[in-house]
Amino acid sequence: MSGFPERARRSLGDSQLRRNLAKATATIRAKTGKVSAELPDWEALRDAGRAIKRETLAELDKHLVALEDSVTRAGGVVHWAADAAEARAIITGLVQAHGAKQVIKIKSMTTDEVELNPALEAAGVRPFETDLADMIVQMAHEKPSHLLVPAIHKNRAEIGALFREEMDEPDLSNEPADLTRAARAYLRGKFIESEVAISGANFAVAETGSVAVVESEGNGRMCLTLPKVLISIMGIEKVLPKWEHLEVFLQLLPRAATGERMNPYTSIWTGTRAREGDAADGPEAFHLVLLDNGRSKILADAAARETLHCIRCSRCLNVCPVYQRTGGHAYDSMYQGPIGAIVTPQLKGLAAAGDLPYASSLCGACQEACPVRIPIPEILVHLRGRVVAEGHAGAGERAAMAAAKAMFDHPTLMGAALAAGRVMQAPLARDGRIGRLPWPLDGWSLSRDFPALPPESFRDWWKRRKAKA
Amino acid sequence: MSGRDAILAAVRAALAGRPAPAAEPSAYRRRGEMTADQVLARFLERLADYDVHVTVLEQAAEIPATVAERLAARGAEALAIPADLPPGWVPEGVPVMVDQALPYRSLDTRPSVLTGCALAIAETGTLVLDAGAGQGRRALTLLPDHHLCVVFESQVVETVPEALQRLKPAVLAGRPLTFCSGPSATADIEFDRVVGVHGPRRLDVILVRA
């Protein structure tokens, strides 16, 4: 199994990262708490969000077909990608068919999930990330460390150094305002010249064939409107049946994600240009790629299905005591924190990521914070059960559990084991606790105390009491 | 088997045998409860939070004078407008460029643009454009650095659900929507909020009470 504990230990030692994370998550917690408390019907919105997702998933095939229909009628083309390889092939094919040598991209975790950028590069197409943080991460050849603020692990000095080199602006200061201004100028040319853009999607409405992208910087608007060809890739779980469902999600998402009453820009488009006449507005061609890549498997696991309710707000990351300290790289996936701990093992497989459901103290802060009430702790425990049931638990753990089972099945064996335990613990127990257990249990007791066995078991006490009476 | 067949088969297999949940009645607010005056006051408060400059006028006839004044205040001269902007809105003496399929580079050189809007949302301080009358194409309100937007009091609704309900006909007609809530921003660098990334960095709202 991969090493969350090892990666976590490494990131815990990075004090710059911990400072950034502590400040970032505290700020966002305060903001999201304040704006969600402002709405008198916040809890009703959360209930509605959960209900809409549940009802949508229960008839997902029907809604996907309806979406395909409405997008097609509005002038778009719908493609279906069963897995990452198909998605890469479809998108690369569309870009090449247009003859483009570069594409501009809006932040999309779905494109990261299918590893699109390397595939484009291999096909001779240069992808340019246009979200400020993704652009920073791309320039630095690193991986994102947070769902919403992917470059939060870098400070202004590091970013300044990067920009001075990549943008050829040797006099650029490290002030965030200057860095942002430099990015604006640098990207404007790209926005105006590029012919093909690739985006994700936050929601797609089956009733109308509309797709919505929620953003803060304006690069989304640039990519969605200026180029000739727009390709949007979207996980199949993001379809909403009706236009009115946006009433719920356009309130839940900005307040839970960035702690704003509304994010700066939301773009909702339906197919291709509707306006006749000479004022062309938006792309001539729109392609919607629907992605499965393991989502139908999650759908099939009834106890874990609510994983698919996620609207990618990242509020669970910001309240998680584990994420706050280890940061995102420790999860080794673009899906991080509590939601990452349940999605990644289901998409990557339990053999590859089976330790992630254990990267939690089950405190439940994530469930309380989640705008659609995903029962993350329940799903974590369910996945832990699957890790064991499907044979991914370590040999030591299996042996210990088998021994425990034997003891519980045979009372005399239990009695003998306890008697032996009482003798063996004598040198280790202090004040009713054992601070360090012997191997192979020493790892468990590194940060926990074990209660010492009492001088007499309940059964012995009972026998003694009965004999007295 | 095509990707489409594969995905639909997998989804149907995953759902097989499980009954659909009963539909739950929703209890969230679908309409607001404030009076018109309260709605307007709330809208102005929200705009102030975003540092958006607002001028409140009693009638549409005052628009051109305000536009001229705001352009002067910003040190801006050249103005871009959509072809169907009400002619009475444009001030005399200001060089105006009408957007009729202008190349993007031309639009990019125009510092200011004047349009109307589809509606505004008081609770969130949002302006919504729906490519309808007097609004122009999306690129027009995206490339220039300064956007002057005329909003009539009757266009201001209290809540997000009310706005979406009113916008539905435009969507059914295939028109794109853009929701603008303050200028663009980023907090990607050390969570230090910087205002004005892409998109207009300066917003002027001209609110007409008529």
pLDDT in tens, B85-114: 999 999 998 999 999 888 898 888 878 999
Contacts of B104 in chain A (CB under 8 A): 192, 226
**A111-146 per-position pLDDT tens digit:** 999 999 999 999 999 999 999 988 998 889 887 776
- Evaluate whether A311 touches B168 at the Cβ level (below 8 Å): no
pLDDT on residue A450: 86
pLDDT on residue A200: 97
**Rounded mean pLDDT of B34-56?**
95
Q: What would the two tokens of residue B67 be?
A: 């536009």
Nearest by CB to residue A58, choosing from B15, B179, B184, is B15
Indicate yes or no: CB of A218 within 8 angstroms of CB of B142. Answer: yes
**B142-195 per-position pLDDT tens digit:** 999 999 999 999 999 999 999 999 999 999 999 999 999 988 888 788 778 888
Banded pLDDT at A1 (limits 50, 70, 90): very low
Most confident of the following: A406-415, B8-17, B180-189? B8-17
Q: How many residues does chain A have?
A: 469
Q: Which 65-84 residues of chain A touch chain B by CB within 8 A? A: 65, 74-75, 79-82
| Whether the predicted pLDDT of A243 surpasses 70 | yes
Q: Which 436-465 residues of chain A touch chain B by CB within 8 A? A: none
Contacts of A81 in chain B (CB under 8 A): 3
Minimal C-alpha gap between A367 and chain B (Å): 20
**Rounded mean pLDDT of A268-280?**
72
How far apart CA A110 and CA A88 sit, in angstroms, is 11
pLDDT on residue A17: 82
**pLDDT over 90 for what percent of chain B?**
74
Indicate yes or no: CB of A80 within 8 angstroms of CB of B2. Answer: yes
Average pLDDT along chain B: 93
Q: How many residues does chain B have?
A: 210
**A54-75 per-position pLDDT tens digit:** 999 999 999 999 999 999 999 9
- Evaluate whether A157 touches A151 at the Cβ level (below 8 Å): no
| Whether the predicted pLDDT of B37 surpasses 80 | yes
Banded pLDDT at A274 (limits 50, 70, 90): low
| Whether the predicted pLDDT of A153 surpasses 80 | no
How far apart CA A381 and CA A357 sit, in angstroms, is 7
Q: DSSP state, A153?
A: T
Banded pLDDT at A278 (limits 50, 70, 90): very low
Q: Which residue has the tokens 């400020």?
A: A132
Q: Cβ of A210 under 8 Å from any chain B Cβ?
A: yes
Q: Which residue type sits at A112?
A: D
How far apart CA A34 and CA A41 sit, in angstroms, is 14
Q: Is residue A191 classed exposed, middle or buried when 0-12, 13-18 and 19+ CB atoms within 10 A define those classes?
A: buried
Q: Is residue A464 classed exposed, middle or buried when 0-12, 13-18 and 19+ CB atoms within 10 A define those classes?
A: exposed
What is the full DSSP assignment across chain B? --HHHHHHHHHHHHHTTPPPPPPPPP-S-SS----HHHHHHHHHHHHHHTT-EEEEESSGGGHHHHHHHHHHHTT---EEEETTS-GGGSPTTS-EEEESS--HHHHHH--EEEE--SEEETTTTEEEE-S-TTT--GGGGTSSSEEEEEEEGGGEESSHHHHHHHHHHHHHTT--EEEE-SS-EE-TTTT--EE-SSS-SEEEEEEE--
Q: Which residue type sits at B164?
A: L
| Whether the predicted pLDDT of A83 surpasses 90 | yes
Q: Is A116 helix (H, G, I), strand (E, B) or coil?
A: helix
Q: Is residue B56 classed exposed, middle or buried when 0-12, 13-18 and 19+ CB atoms within 10 A define those classes?
A: middle
| Whether the predicted pLDDT of A394 surpasses 90 | no
How far apart CA B111 and CA A376 sit, in angstroms, is 49
Minimal C-alpha gap between B184 and chain A (Å): 5
Instruction: Tell me which of A25-34, A333-342, A396-405 is least confident.
Output: A396-405
- Evaluate whether B97 touches B116 at the Cβ level (below 8 Å): no
pLDDT on residue B19: 81
How far apart CA A115 and CA B81 sit, in angstroms, is 42
**A205-231 per-position pLDDT tens digit:** 999 999 999 999 999 999 999 999 999
How far apart CA A140 and CA A137 sit, in angstroms, is 5
Pairing type for strands A285-291 and A229-235 reads parallel
The residues, any chain, with a CB within 8 Å of residue A93's CB and separated by 6 or more, are none
| Whether the predicted pLDDT of A458 surpasses 90 | no
Pairing type for strands A196-199 and B53-57 reads unpaired
**pLDDT over 90 for what percent of chain A?**
69
Q: With CA atoms as reference, report the closest residue to B71 among B21, B112, B122, B39.
A: B112
Average pLDDT along chain A: 92
Nearest by CB to residue B7, choosing from A155, A159, A290, is A290
Q: Which residue has the tokens 């040797």?
A: A170
ipTM of the complex: 0.97
Torsion over CA: A331, A335, A339, A341 (sign): negative
**A423-442 per-position pLDDT tens digit:** 888 888 888 888 888 877 77
- Report the side by side order of strands in the sheet with B96-99: B53-57, B202-208, B146-152, B112-115, B79-82, B96-99
How far apart CA B152 and CA B168 sit, in angstroms, is 20
**pLDDT over 70 for what percent of chain A?**
98
Q: With CA atoms as reference, report the closest residue to A212 among A250, A171, A165.
A: A250
